[in-house]
């Protein structure tokens, strides 16, 4: 279980004399074991900052994050992260990229490679073990990133808009594959997205964050049954899908309108 209590985070101004930015304010959230939680909100609302705090990649100003009752003080072996910008080693083959995290943890190459091979097959890249990143499409590179994260067998998988830069067809295929993998492995997933449809399609619950400073405004349960990977077309056309995405858009649109009104308000002389 992940518990986030009273989390606030500010960034100092990058230029001299420039005001800082408050990214998160009093965020409180509990994420259950094996839950697939999606996080949605306007651009700049602190979604990625929240994820990086859970990963232990950035510190925060107030509050605490607990994983199974233990405070997060930095990165840990129970967490793995998949980024939107695919951070593969360009000089290394697919199998070397997948085994990289294992080898950092002291796993021998003879033990790491069979595990990598299993995951390469799981993400649909059999036959590309010796390929270099530049020989792969964007979707294939993202599959390598996912396999590398899964290789260390994390309790928590943190995903920062992993499909955001992909074309629609590739994105839909990877959504289906990710669901299949999650249904098989049942790890805890925190998934950041800009897509309302993706948030509902994948998630058990959708966390809706407000415009900056990011706060949790609403948590929307997704009552659609599991497993979903074998009937995504039915799920996408369901009344629940339409109802929840309509609800999410109404909230997001109201914030965009409110922000626009504030920006266009004349300043009194």
Note whether residue 176 is domain-resident: no
Distance CA 174, CA 176 (A): 5
Instruction: Please check whether residues 116 and 65 belong to one and the same domain.
Output: no
Q: Any idea what DSSP says for residue 199?
A: H
Domain annotation covers residue 117:
yes
In a domain, 181, yes or no: no
Same domain membership, residue 242 and residue 164: yes
204 and 90 share one domain: no
Same domain, 162 and 148: no
Number of domains in the chain: 2
166 & 140 share domain? no
Residue 1 lies inside a defined structural domain of this protein: yes
- Taking the model in full, what pTM does it have? 0.88
- 122 and 68 part of one domain: no
Tokens coding 80: 């793995």
pLDDT at residue number 267: 40
Strand-pair partners of 79? 156
Supply the pLDDT for residue 269. 33
Predicted local distance difference test score (pLDDT) of residue 265: 45
pLDDT at res. 30:
96
253 and 196 together in one domain = yes
Give backbone dihedrals phi and psi of 90, rounded to 5 degrees, phi first. Answer: -65, -20
CATH, residue 46: 3.40.50.300
Are 136 and 230 within one domain?
Answer: no
Q: Say whether both 58 and 166 belong to one domain.
A: yes
**125-169 tens-digit pLDDT:** 999 999 999 999 988 998 899 999 988 889 999 999 988 878 888
Contacting residues for 250 by C-beta, under 8 A, at least 6 apart: none
Residue 236 and residue 216 in one domain: yes
Residues of the chain with confidence (pLDDT) below 70: 13-19, 256-269
Structural domain for 200, as ranges:
1-78+157-170+187-260
What is the CB neighbour count within 10 angstroms for residue 187? 19
Residue tagged 């695919």 (tokens): 86
pLDDT of residue 206: 96
């Amino acid at each position: 279980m992940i518990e986030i209590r009273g989390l606030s985070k500010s960034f100092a101004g990058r230029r001299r004399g420039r005001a800082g930015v408050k990214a998160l304010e009093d965020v409180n959230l509990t994420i259950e074991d094996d839950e697939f939680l999606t996080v949605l909100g306007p651009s700049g609302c602190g979604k990625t900052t929240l994820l990086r705090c859970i990963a232990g990649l950035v510190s925060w100003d107030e509050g605490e994050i607990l994983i199974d009752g233990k405070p997060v003080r930095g990165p840990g072996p129970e967490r793995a992260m998949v980024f939107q910008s695919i951070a593969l080693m360009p000089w290394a083959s697919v199998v070397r990229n997948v085994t990289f995290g294992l080898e950092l943890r002291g796993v021998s190459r003879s033990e790491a490679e069979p595990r990598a091979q299993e995951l390469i097959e799981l993400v649909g890249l059999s036959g590309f073990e010796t390929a270099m990143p530049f020989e792969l499409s964007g979707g294939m590179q993202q599959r390598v990133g996912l396999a590398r994260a899964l290789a260390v067998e994390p309790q928590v998988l943190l995903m920062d808009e992993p499909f955001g830069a992909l074309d629609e067809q590739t994105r839909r295929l990877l959504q289906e594959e990710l669901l299949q993998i999650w249904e098989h492995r049942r790890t805890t997933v925190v998934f950041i997205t800009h897509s309302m449809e993706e948030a509902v399609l994948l998630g058990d619950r959708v966390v809706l964050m407000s415009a900056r400073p990011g706060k949790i405004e609403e948590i929307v349960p997704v009552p659609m049954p599991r497993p979903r990977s074998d009937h995504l077309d039915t799920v996408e056309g369901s009344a629940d899908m339409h109802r929840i995405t309509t609800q999410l858009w109404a909230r997001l649109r109201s914030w965009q309108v409110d922000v626009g009104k504030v920006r266009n308000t004349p300043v009194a002389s």
